[in-house]
Amino acid sequence: MNDSNPALDLVLQSALLWSTMVKKADQQLSVHGISFSEFCILHRLFQAPQQRMSRIELANSVGLSASGITRLLQPMEKIHLVEKEQNARDARVSLVKLSDTGLQIYQEANQSCAFFASQFTSPLTARQLETLAELLARL
Amino acid sequence: MNDSNPALDLVLQSALLWSTMVKKADQQLSVHGISFSEFCILHRLFQAPQQRMSRIELANSVGLSASGITRLLQPMEKIHLVEKEQNARDARVSLVKLSDTGLQIYQEANQSCAFFASQFTSPLTARQLETLAELLARL
DNA sequence: AGCATATACTTGCAAGCTCAAGCATTAATC
DNA sequence: GATTAATGCTTGAGCTTGCAAGTATATGCT
């Protein structure tokens, strides 16, 4: 009757884990006035060469749709966390660039988020953390 | 400059991974007319003693808020996947019970979801899957 | 050059979820 | 026994996101 299925169990287990994790991260980041999604954006931009990316690249890198990016970026532009730039070669793409204030907010938020992350993963040893990351990277 | 932080990387990596995973699972389940959230509900009910739970328990077990459960369950009651029952001891709680048709849909959907899950985890060996589940269980 | 197709967005609409507030019921305290 | 607090749930308002459709630009084919 109860044909336990490890793969299915894993999927359900992690879905629950992930949803609670994001909620907690959101809470931690709220003091900086940004959401977890916004932090992901800033993080990707920070990592990008010249801290600038196309919106589509950005969408893929954080797992959102193109329209999701458009709407998420609108308020971020308004408060000048990011800037809109045009691509000289291709007039379709509009680049997103991390602004100075965006960089500052990112660095502050990064502290909070890093603290949260280390707290969240504290039940694991460094070695286990590494193993976990490795296994997840295969999926 | 690039002070790489394993814990933070893990959090960001898994956020992306799970969001794409849930989207794919939703797609797989759409042929049964239910969402991933709804499948989680059915799954928990199926596992529950007498296939019946209070709404708050259900909310916690799938990582939703109480109001989320209320709204998610409304259409499910309408198409008779679940039934509402009263608790004799406590008039506040209303129990949710898996119906016969709900059970049937669950079993069909379970096949799809199990297939998806095994496909999703196919890059991992059974041993690695076990390790992964074990590590996630600690978080 | 001209037309079809693909790409990079943006926008209208709808779904799914949360938070805050409210209601009903139960438990706890005096 | 009455009052206060806690619990279980529902509802209104609002946020975030996705999908489908639309626009603008680029690319490829002939």
pLDDT in tens, A37-49: 999 999 999 999 9
Can you give the pLDDT at residue B1? Answer: 54
- pLDDT above 70 for B33: yes
In angstroms, how far is D18 C1' from A65 CA? 7
CB atoms near residue A20 (< 10 Å): 14
Q: How many whole angstroms separate alpha carbon A138 and alpha carbon A109?
A: 28
Q: How many whole angstroms separate alpha carbon B97 and alpha carbon B53?
A: 7
Angle of the A6-29 helix axis to the A100-120 helix axis, nearest 10: 130
Q: Say which of B17, B63, B137 has its CB closest to residue A19.
A: B63
Q: How many whole angstroms separate alpha carbon B17 and alpha carbon A21?
A: 13
Mean pLDDT of A49-67: 96
Interchain proximity A7–B63, CB inside 8 Å: no
- pLDDT above 70 for A1: no
What is the band of B53 on the pLDDT scale with cuts at 50, 70, 90?
A: very high
Sign, Cα dihedral of B74, B46, B94, B82: positive
- pLDDT above 60 for A2: no
- Mean pLDDT score of chain A: 95
Mean pLDDT of B37-41: 97
Cβ contacts below 8 Å, chain A against chain B, sum to 141
Closest CA to B138 of A123, A74, A95: A123
What digits encode the pLDDT tens for the residues A80-130? Answer: 999 999 999 999 999 999 999 999 999 999 999 999 999 999 999 999 999
DSSP at A4: -
Domains for chain B: give ranges and CATH numbers: 31-109 (1.10.10.10)
Interchain proximity B7–A138, CB inside 8 Å: no
- pLDDT above 90 for B98: yes
Tokens of B64: 């939703």
Can you give the pLDDT at residue B4? Answer: 80
Task: Outline where B1-125 has alpha helix (H).
Answer: 6-29, 36-47, 55-62, 66-78, 100-120
Q: How many whole angstroms separate alpha carbon A63 and alpha carbon B18?
A: 9
Which class for B114: exposed (0-12), middle (13-18), buried (19 or more C-beta within 10 A)? middle
Mean pLDDT of B18-25: 93
- Mean pLDDT score of chain B: 94
Query: Coil, helix or strand for B82?
Result: strand
What is the band of A3 on the pLDDT scale with cuts at 50, 70, 90?
A: low
In angstroms, how far is C21 C1' from B66 CA? 14
Tokens of A106: 């990112």
Place of tokens 């009757």: A1
CA distance to A133, B2, B124, per residue, from A127 (Å): 10, 21, 19
Quote the percentage of chain B above a pLDDT of 90: 96
Amino acid, single-letter form, for residue B47: Q
Angle of the B100-120 helix axis to the B36-47 helix axis, nearest 10: 110
Can you give the pLDDT at residue A4? Answer: 80
